[in-house]
Structure 1
Amino acid sequence: MAQEMQIAQQSFELPASIEAQKVEKNRIEELLEQQTHLMMRHLQLTEDHSKSNLQFMFQTAKDMLKKVDPSVRSIFADWHKELRAKTNIYVAQSRLWNRYQQAAESETLIRPFAEEAKKSWSWPLAYKANAQPTAAFEASQQGPYDVDAAFAGLRQRHAREAQEFVLVHQKACLEQISGDLSLSFQCELLLQQVKAWLQLNGSFFREPNLAEQLLTQQARCFAELACREEMAK
C-alpha cells in the first residue's frame, strides 16, 4: 500500500515538475518577447523612413539620442563625446596653423624661435677682438670677422630651420585630424562600435537582422547630425 502511494506521489510530482519547467520556459520567452518589443518600439522611428527623412525628424543629435534604444545609447553618447573632444583639438590646431602661416608669409619668426634667435653669447672682449672663423662657411664671409654677428646669424638659421620643421609637421597634424573628423571616418567608427555590440547582444532579439538594419540606420543619421553640428561651431 505504501509503495503504491509513493508511486502515485511520484507520478503526481513528475507532471508538476514538467509543468513548472513549461511555466519557466514561457516566462523566459515572454521576457525575451518584451525585450524585443521594447527594442523594436524604439527602433520603429526609423523602420518606415529613409535615411534623409530620418534626419529631418530630429533637429539636433541630442534630440535623436533621446530616441535611441537605451541599450546602445551609451555607445552613441561616448562616440559623440570623443567627436567633440577631437573637434576642439582641430579648432586649436587650426588657429595655430593660421598664426604660423601668417608668420611664414611675413618671413618672421614665431615664439619660441624668435626668442631663441635673439639670445647672445658672452665672450671676453679680448677674444672678440681677435676671434677668427672656425667653420668653413664662416671663412667665406666678407670684411672683418665679427663673432657676435656670426653667432646671431647661426641662431637665425637654426631658428628658421626649426620653424620650418614645425610648420611642415603642423600641416601634417592638421590634415590627419581633419581626416579623422571626416563624416565617412566618423560614421564608420560608430558603425563598428554598434556592430561589436550587436555581436555580443544580437542573439537576444528575435529578429537580429532587423535590429542591425535599424540600428545601422540610426547610427548613420546620428553621425551625420553630430558631425554637421560640430563642424558648424
Structure 2
Amino acid sequence: MYHWDFWPVIANADLLFRGLLNTLAVTGTALAFGVPLGLALALSRLSGRRWLSWPAGFVIEVFRTTPPLVQLFWFFFALPLLIHVEMTPFVASALTFSIQSAAFFAEVFRAGIVSVERGQWEAARAVGMTGRQSLHRIILPQAVKRMIPAFMERAIELMKTTTLVATVSYADLLYQANELAQKTFRPLEVFTVAALIYFVFITMVSVFARRLERRLAVSGDSTVQ
C-alpha cells in the first residue's frame, strides 16, 4: 500500500504559495485588460462602420476558435521574431490571456447590450441624449448588471486555463508543483495539494457567482448566457 507523506509538501509550502500568487497575477492582469478591451471590441462589432466591425469580428473569432496553447506559443516564440523584442513568460502569458479573455468578454458585452430593449434607446433619444450618452448612462448600467454572473464564470474558466503558462516556464502554481514533485519525489502528495488549492479558490468564486446570480434573479434582472 502507498504510504502518504505530506510533510515534504508542508516544508516547501512557500513554493506553492509563490506559484499561487503568480497564478493570481496572470489571472488578474488578464481580467484587468480583457474587460475594457472586450467592451471596445463589442462596441466596434456593433458599429455600423465596416472598417470597425469587420476587424473586431475577425479578432474575436480568431481568439475564440483557436486553442489557447497555440496562442500562448505564438506570443512567446513567434511574436519576438517579428518585433525583435524579448518576451518574458509573464508578458507573453498576460498578453495571450488578456486578448483571449477580451474576445469572450466582447461576446458577453454584445449579448448584454443587444438584450436591452430597443425602447430604452428610443426613450434616451427622445429626451435629447446622444448615442454615446445613451450607451453610458442608460444601456451599459443595465447590461453590465445582467452580465456580472457571466463575467464570474469566465473568470473561473480563465484561472483554470492559465495552467497552460507552465509550458513556457512561468512559475505559476502548476509549474511550482511540478518542480516540487521532482524535488521531493512525492508527486501524488504535491499534485493533490495543488488540486485542493485550485478547488478551494475556484469553489469560493463559484459560490459567490451563484449567490450573485440568485440576487439578480430576485431583483428581476436576467442573466446573459
Same fold (TM over 0.5): no
TM-score (norm 2): 0.33
TM-score, structure 1 as length reference: 0.32
Larger Rg: 1
